[in-house]
Structure 1
Amino acid sequence: MTLDISSTLVKELRQKTGAGMMNCKKALQETNGDFEGAVKTLRQKGLAAADKKVDRKTVEGVVNSYIHAGGKIGVLVEVNCETDFVARREEFQELVQNIAMQIAASPEVLYVNSEEIPEQVFLAEKAIEAEKDDLSNKPPEIKEKIILGRVEKTLKKLSLIDQAFIRDSNITIDELIKEKISLFGENIKVKRFTRYTLGNK
């Protein structure tokens, strides 16, 4: 017997995940009406579908601005997609605005992703960790693993897509973008951003 799912619950799930109505209904049926379980199912399916699109060219998109804290913080961000049709969609504009707000709220973030972080930053962080007293008595191979783990954690703080989304801490910006890739059927990439803080150069 197929579980009867209310249209209100389906609509709420669609608003939260951006997935299609039929996919939302199916996910709720598969999880016996468990809303959070359905969210997880849709995200897993969406991220898997999005992974197949990440190498496609993005030549359209928008540049957006966001001003925060009474004009003390400003952000310019460029987010690309594949077509002008998607770039003009309200959901895409909302995504770009959310990304701009995320940048404004994340003063440590300096790069779009960890691949952009220069090697000298990695080496400098590694040197700092290597000098910490709590590692002095560790065997070399254990010490190296601990150092690399700590450096990776530090560098993730500098990477935009690794941040927990300010409006839903259960997902990262990377997962948020992949959800929208699944929704639009197009690749989406944050190309670049600049944060301006009043009084800073």
Structure 2
Amino acid sequence: MSISAQQVKELRERTGLGMMECKAALTETNGDMEAAADLLRKRAGAKVEKKAGRIAAEGTIGIHVSADRKTAAMAEVNCETDFVAKGDEFDAFAGAVAARVAAAQPADVDALYRLPHQDGAPATVAQVREGLVMKLGENINVRRFERLTTGQGHIGSYVHGRKIGVLVVLEGGDENLAKDIAMHVAASRPEYVSKDQVPAAAVAKEKEIFAEQAKASGKPADIIEKMVMGRVNKYLGEITLLGQPFVKDPETTVEKLLKSKSASVKGFIRYEVGEGLEKRSDNFAAEVMATVKGA
């Protein structure tokens, strides 16, 4: 029987798979839409399973921020090669995933996969993912995501080269300041907003290490204590956002910059593609630093 372009279009929207695959499935099932969809899902599932064990540590960071900048979401979507990660379809999928997270607040990746890919779309996130696996020939998965909301403040965002993504909740200031702080977080990798958030156990451990190092100097105990506290304060300045020199103006700290703008950071999230999955040779932090200094 003859298969119409409308039938192919409808099946593509339902499954997220390619035109030729959809047409072939409709032809094989004599135009039965339900049977064709089931056939494609079975075939896609088999192909996805074959690729599921392959390492996927490349990818991209998708970010979605609402128009009022009160809600935002960020997702890391992984694939096997940087070549695929740079593709428009893969990038669009990452963006759509972040938008789904922002709108629907899924509890985990499994719940996310069961959601419609877009509002009103028949295909789920899982089905579109399966379609990409078939089309692009690589293992593709959503590794993680987070969602932020704010009542009084607004959210700034920044993505560097698809590989590093940051969301920052800022009270006071403006959109430009929020983006500047997000760029700073991308470049400088702070672990906490302020020293008050650093676990006491972590501070005690560093203090113990510094004390052992200082003892080797042979100086009096009171001098050693001052040396240790100096090193602890330096350590806290290095790992906290407020204590770090601002990347665009190292003569001032982020804390001083925020005070001058009557602003405060309530929280941030920083993702880097593949972190924790494998060793990376690319120095993305240095690359971001060069970018923001030239901005």
Secondary structure, aligned partner of 2:51: coil
Taking the aligned partners of 1:50 and 1:168, their CA distance within structure 2 comes to 25
Secondary structure, aligned partner of 1:40: helix
CA contact (8 A) 1:50 1:179 kept: no
Do residues 24 (structure 1) and 22 (structure 2) align?
yes
Please report how far the alpha carbon of residue 166 of structure 1 lies from its aligned counterpart in structure 2 after TM superposition: 4.5
Question: Which amino acid counterpart does residue 25 of structure 1 have in structure 2?
Answer: K
- Shifted more, 160-169 versus 41-50: the winner is 160-169
Cα displacement string for residues 119-141 of structure 1 (whole angstroms, at most 9, x for unaligned residues): xxxxxxxxxxxxxxxxxxxxxxx
Secondary structure, aligned partner of 1:29: helix
State how 1:30-41 maps to structure 2 within 5 Å: 30-41=28-39
Match of 1:85 in 2: 83
State how 1:130-145 maps to structure 2 within 5 Å: none
**Which one scores higher on RCO, CA 8 angstroms, separation ≥ 6?**
1
Match of 1:111 in 2: 108
Secondary structure, aligned partner of 2:76: strand
- Shifted more, 191-200 versus 14-23: the winner is 14-23
Taking the aligned partners of 2:120 and 2:39, their CA distance within structure 1 comes to 17
Residue among 57, 60, 79 paired with 1:59: 57
Match of 1:192 in 2: 144
Match of 1:173 in 2: 125
Cα displacement string for residues 55-103 of structure 1 (whole angstroms, at most 9, x for unaligned residues): 1101211012101252111011111101122112222112111111111
Structure 1, gaps ≥5 residues long: 114-158
Taking the aligned partners of 1:17 and 1:70, their CA distance within structure 2 comes to 32
- Shifted more, 169-178 versus 186-195: the winner is 169-178
Please report how far the alpha carbon of residue 46 of structure 1 lies from its aligned counterpart in structure 2 after TM superposition: 0.8
Please report how far the alpha carbon of residue 16 of structure 1 lies from its aligned counterpart in structure 2 after TM superposition: 4.8
CA contact (8 A) 1:46 1:179 kept: yes
Taking the aligned partners of 1:172 and 1:8, their CA distance within structure 2 comes to 20
Number of residue-to-residue matches in the alignment: 153
After TM superposition, the score normalised by the length of structure 2 is 0.45
Match of 1:45 in 2: 43
Taking the aligned partners of 1:27 and 1:93, their CA distance within structure 2 comes to 27
After TM superposition, the score normalised by the length of structure 1 is 0.64
Structure 2, gaps ≥5 residues long: 152-265, 268-295
Taking the aligned partners of 2:114 and 2:51, their CA distance within structure 1 comes to 19
Distance 1:68 1:91, change over 3 A: same
After superposition, the CA RMSD in angstroms is 2.7
Taking the aligned partners of 2:18 and 2:66, their CA distance within structure 1 comes to 33
Runs of 4 or more above 6 Å deviation: none
CA contact (8 A) 1:47 1:175 kept: no
CA contact (8 A) 2:15 2:41 kept: yes
